[in-house]
């Protein structure tokens, strides 16, 4: 009997992993922005051409990488963020899987420039099809710039299934908002096809929301603040007249991470019970802080879903916090003329 099992070569394994991590240009944007935040950047620039199909570049002024790390960061499971499985439950970084750069490198062309504080020169590396094609010593500012070009160049099926530029750009901007809303202490700039679309100054949550969604938003925000032993909630819900037909402006952050949760969304909807016109959805920007020991964020490669130890308590606390705020601010029901 012949043996038939073999280990896949790295570039094949990376390309398979990339299928999960990188669904579209916006996924690359998310990963690069998160790396810049983890690097302690105070200013992060995102440069997009043709909805990311031609170029996605993120420039940060964070801590940069050494020459060795600049090469190592493209290896699968190469990370500076955790050392053991236990660290998964005390995470204070966005990343921990060490898969993003390896995945992106497997399906796109990458140019990396990076320099650490105190070094005179930095490193520039070009990667094509998963392997390094050039490495040079360069003069570059402190921090890191990653340019991603020709996304899915070697996966025509994926490339062909990308949506129109308008749709892909929408996804990118959504991702940009999700990251910028929770990191109001970082200056974010977005250039789309050469023009500056956003320049968000360092501020606070409220100001950041207003800078993104417009000055009119300010008067529509009802603050939510609740500090319990299990959970700290801060942020805002939109007044009922701010409710939307679409589920657009609904943002949950858990320990600084944007999270999707139909269950917790329901908690908020139920706090708004009787206050909304039928067919509309409450807007909210809620920032939850929980003990990292009580959540598991390693259940999905893109980390937008998490598992809570005690989801029911969270539901109840959230619902009562929102109800309390709405009551305190004397929010009356919107008359429903459509019924």
Residue 100 touches Mg ion, criterion: CB under 5 A: yes
Nearest Cα to 28, choosing from 131, 180, 173, 148? 148
In angstroms, the Cα distances linking 257 to 120, 251, 271, 313 are 35, 10, 23, 20
Residue 39's binding partner out of Mg ion, ligand ADP, none, with CB under 5 to 8 Å set by partner kind? ligand ADP
In the chain, which ranges are continuous DSSP H helix?
Answer: 10-21, 25-38, 67-72, 100-107, 156-160, 165-182, 205-213, 262-271, 311-328
Residue 269 and residue 282: Cα distance in Å, rounded? 7
What's the min distance (Å) between Cβ of 27 and ligand ADP? 12
What's the min distance (Å) between Cβ of 276 and ligand ADP? 39
Residue 188 and residue 35: Cα distance in Å, rounded? 14
What's the min distance (Å) between Cβ of 97 and ligand ADP? 5
Q: What tokens appear for 234 in the block?
A: 């801060």
Residue 235 touches Mg ion, criterion: CB under 5 A: no
Q: Which stretch binds Mg ion (CB under 5 A): 30-38, 68-76, 251-259, 265-273?
A: 30-38
What's the min distance (Å) between Cβ of 301 and ligand ADP? 11
Q: What tokens appear for 125 in the block?
A: 């590396």
Residue 143 touches Mg ion, criterion: CB under 5 A: no
In angstroms, the Cα distances linking 249 to 85, 223, 285, 299 are 35, 15, 8, 25
Strands 122-128 and 187-192: unpaired
Residue 157 and residue 299: Cα distance in Å, rounded? 27
What's the min distance (Å) between Cβ of 75 and ligand ADP? 8
Burial class (CB in 10 A: 0-12, 13-18, 19+), 247: exposed
Position closest to ligand ADP via CB: 95
Q: Which is nearer to ligand ADP, 73 or 237 (CB)?
A: 73
Nearest Cα to 28, choosing from 212, 172, 180? 172
Residue 29 touches Mg ion, criterion: CB under 5 A: no
Number of residues engaging Mg ion in binding (CB under 5 A): 3
Which chain residues interact with ligand ADP by CB under 6 A?
31, 35-36, 39, 60, 62-65, 73, 78-81, 95-102, 144
Position closest to Mg ion via CB: 95
**Taking CB under 5 A as the criterion, which residues in 32-51 touch Mg ion?**
35
Residue 105 touches Mg ion, criterion: CB under 5 A: no
Q: Which is nearer to Mg ion, 95 or 122 (CB)?
A: 95
Binding-site member from 52, 62, 64, 95 for Mg ion (CB under 5 A)? 95
What's the min distance (Å) between Cβ of 13 and ligand ADP? 14
What's the min distance (Å) between Cβ of 33 and ligand ADP? 9
Interacting residue ranges for Mg ion, rule: CB under 5 A: 35, 95, 100
């Amino acid at each position: 009997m012949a043996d038939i099992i073999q280990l896949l070569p790295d570039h094949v394994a990376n390309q398979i992993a990339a299928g999960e991590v990188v669904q579209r240009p916006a996924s690359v944007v998310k990963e690069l922005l998160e790396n810049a935040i983890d690097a302690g950047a105070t200013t992060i620039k995102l440069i997009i051409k043709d909805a990311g199909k031609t170029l996605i570049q993120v420039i940060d002024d964070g801590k940069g990488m050494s020459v060795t790390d600049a090469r190592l960061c493209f290896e699968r499971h190469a990370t500076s963020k955790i050392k053991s499985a236990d660290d998964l439950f005390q995470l204070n970084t966005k990343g921990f899987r060490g898969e993003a750069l390896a995945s992106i490198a497997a399906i796109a062309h990458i140019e990396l420039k990076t320099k650490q504080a105190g070094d005179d020169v930095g490193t520039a590396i070009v990667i094509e099809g998963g392997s390094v094609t050039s490495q040079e010593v360069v003069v570059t500012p402190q921090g890191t710039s990653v340019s991603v070009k020709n996304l899915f160049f070697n996966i025509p099926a994926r490339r062909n299934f990308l949506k129109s530029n308008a749709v892909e750009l929408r996804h990118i901007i959504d991702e940009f908002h999700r990251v910028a809303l929770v990191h109001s202490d970082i200056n974010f700039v977005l250039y789309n096809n050469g023009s500056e679309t956003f320049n968000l100054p360092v501020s606070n949550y409220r100001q950041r929301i207003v800078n993104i969604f417009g000055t009119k938003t300010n008067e529509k925000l009802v603050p939510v603040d609740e500090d319990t032993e299990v959970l700290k909630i801060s942020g805002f819900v939109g007044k009922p007249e701010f409710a939307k037909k679409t589920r657009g402006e609904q943002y949950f952050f858990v320990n600084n991470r944007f999270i999707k949760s139909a269950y917790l969304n329901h908690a908020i909807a139920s706090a708004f019970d009787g206050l909304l016109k039928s067919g509309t959805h409450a807007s909210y920007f809620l920032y939850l802080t929980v003990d990292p020991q009580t959540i598991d964020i390693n259940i999905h490669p893109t980390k937008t879903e998490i598992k809570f130890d005690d989801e029911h308590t969270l539901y109840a606390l959230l619902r009562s916090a929102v109800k309390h705020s709405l009551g305190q601010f004397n929010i009356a029901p919107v008359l429903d003329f459509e019924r």
